[in-house]
Amino acid sequence: MPDRYLSFTGTAPGRFLTRRLGLPQPAALRRWTPERPGLDGGEVLHLRAGETGTPAGQAPASDSPAAGSPTGTPSAVVLDATGVRDVDGLAGVHAALHPVVREVAAGGRVVVLGAPLDPADHHQAAAQQALEGFTRSLGKEIGRGRTVNVVRLTDRDAAESTLRFLLSPKSAYVSGQVIEVTGAAQEVAVDWERPLAGRTALVTGAARGIGAAVAETLARDGAHVVVLDVPQAEEEARKLAERLNGTALALDITAADAGERIAAELPDGLDVLVHNAGITRDRRLVNMPAERWSSVLDVNLASVLRTTDALLSAKAIKANGRIVATASIAGLAGNAGQTNYGASKAGVVGLVRSLAPRALAEHGVTVNAVAPGFIETKMTAAVPLLIREAGRRMNSLAQGGLPVDVAETTAWLAHPASGAVNGQVVRVCGQSLLGA
Ligand SMILES: NC(=O)c1ccc[n+]([C@@H]2O[C@H](COP(=O)([O-])OP(=O)(O)OC[C@H]3O[C@@H](n4cnc5c(N)ncnc54)[C@H](O)[C@@H]3O)[C@@H](O)[C@H]2O)c1
């Protein structure tokens, strides 16, 4: 279902009229293409806000891929605020960004680097937590398709895949997020062009919608993709698998032995497991029969738990492997008519947070979730017009996301160099007004 309002505001009369009426002004977002892999605008501006009493300054150019000297319209600003330990230090955040934020190119990025909150120093914790409120507020006011995110890190090298993602068009619909990169960088040889070459990725519910985009994106990154979907969708799954030089697997993920069957199908194991299959069966709780409750809980949560357990205990997910599950902002904020769906998606968040440290320690596997907001798919095309319009506009970018936005986020989490990103729930929602 095309977003006609977005097309209208892209024309001069549309822009004029909607501005006069005080209506939202969505900027057309640019996604990654091989021809234009970088952000528009000049080089990335690296700044530092720091130690108490130290005015904001320009950080030394790092050897990160996008480092460089300032230009008139930087494509992005990276503010190193890891040294901010108190309220005085926060003045450096203002001093650094106040003069430059206006100059950031349309579709550009602001990334604030923070430090983990120190439980032994409440001044440091207050100052670092302040960066979140700052970032979320700036995300809501910056406009022109620009995004603002925080990365909390302890080792900048461990955050390279994360910074590359955030400083590229691949993160067009990710804003207002706080991403924790814990731990140190691992010694992994990375091909940044085709990071998943030689790896196998299985995507559930991949015959269409977001799952199909995830399959395509992981294949672009070099993976051999197993396109899993229900037997009724076998034809679509097979066509997609053929196009991606992958494999189709017709399997209902709610089958009690689904994990064992996947393990049998992939005797050499797999590197990336994406739990994307999901359904909705909306009704208010008072009108919801038990069958609607249980079918949603079964597909969206119980099967995710069952297959994850089966594959981990069969050691079918290789070391430095990745599990990416699909939550939803409905699981974070709640949604009328979706008690079943909201419960299932919140359950996914609980699963991720609990399992992540153990899966990493015991299997060398990270576990993260993507939480999409309003994404333009068949699922959301079926939503009544007024609710659909509200869903599209009620975020800082004033538009719905595309399946590829969720797919790119999944690909970053699935990246071999993302081993220090674990237990995170990353919203792909254009900084939706719903939820935290
Ligand atoms: N579209 C959105 O705005 C949105 C927002 C938040 C979260 N999500 C989540 O993203 C995921 C994908 O959503 P979508 O919009 O692409 O949905 P979709 O309905 O277009 O596609 C879902 C796919 O999952 C498959 N599937 C369903 N039950 C299955 C089962 N038992 N076994 C195997 N495959 C099964 C379907 O056949 C279908 O191909 C879901 O988990 C959904 O809850 C979507």
Convert the pLDDT of each residue in 171-219 to its tens digit: 999 999 999 998 777 777 889 999 999 999 999 999 999 999 999 999 9
Contact 224, 245 (CB under 8 A): yes
314 band by pLDDT with thresholds 50, 70 and 90: very high
Q: What pLDDT is recorded for position 164? A: 98
pLDDT at 66 over 60: no
276, 301, 348, 392: residue to mutate for ligand 1 pocket, most atoms within 8 A of CB: 276
Convert the pLDDT of each residue in 383-415 to its tens digit: 888 888 888 999 999 999 999 999 999 999 999
Q: How far is CA 219 from CA 32, 101, 156, 344, 414, in A?
A: 15, 36, 28, 28, 12
| Helix, strand and coil percent figures for the chain, each rounded to 5 | 40, 20, 40
Q: Is the CB of 404 under 6 A from ligand 1?
A: no
Superfamily name and number for 31-181: NAD(P)-binding Rossmann-like Domain (3.40.50.720)
DSSP 216-276: HHHHHTT-EEEEEE-GGGHHHHHHHHHHTT-EEEE--TTSTTHHHHHHHH-TT-EEEEEE-
Contact 140, 146 (CB under 8 A): no
Q: Is the CB of 128 under 6 A from ligand 1?
A: no
Q: Is the CB of 335 under 6 A from ligand 1?
A: no
| Long-range contact set of residues 70-73: C-beta below 8 Å, sequence gap at least 24 | 70/42, 70/43, 70/45, 70/100, 71/41, 71/42, 71/43, 71/45, 72/42, 72/103, 73/41, 73/42, 73/103, 73/104, 73/105, 73/108
Give the orientation angle of helix 290-297 with respect to helix 339-363, to 10 degrees: 20
Structural domain boundaries in the chain: 1-27, 31-181, 200-428
Q: Is the CB of 374 under 6 A from ligand 1?
A: yes
The CA distance from 47 to 149, in Å, is 15
Q: What pLDDT is recorded for position 435? A: 67
59 band by pLDDT with thresholds 50, 70 and 90: low
Q: Is the CB of 279 under 6 A from ligand 1?
A: yes
Once rounded to an integer, what is the mean pLDDT over residues 338-358? 98
The SS3 call for residue 153 is strand
Determine which helix (DSSP H) or strand (DSSP E) holds 109, and give its type and residue range: strand 109-114
Q: State in Å: Cα 39 to ligand 1 middle.
A: 30
Residue 341 catalytic?
yes
Burial class (CB in 10 A: 0-12, 13-18, 19+), 362: exposed
The CA distance from 304 to 290, in Å, is 20
The SS3 call for residue 66 is coil
> pTM value?
0.95
Average pLDDT in the chain: 93
Q: State in Å: Cα 209 to ligand 1 middle.
A: 7
Q: Is the CB of 209 under 6 A from ligand 1?
A: yes
253, 275, 279: residue to mutate for ligand 1 pocket, most atoms within 8 A of CB: 279
**Residue range 200-428, CATH number:** 3.40.50.720
Contact 297, 247 (CB under 8 A): no
Annotated active-site residue in 341, 396, 422, 426: 341
Q: State in Å: Cα 275 to ligand 1 middle.
A: 10
Q: In what order do the strands lie in the sheet with 200-204?
A: 247-250, 224-229, 200-204, 270-275, 317-326, 366-372, 425-428
Residue length of the chain: 436
Once rounded to an integer, what is the mean pLDDT over residues 342-367? 97
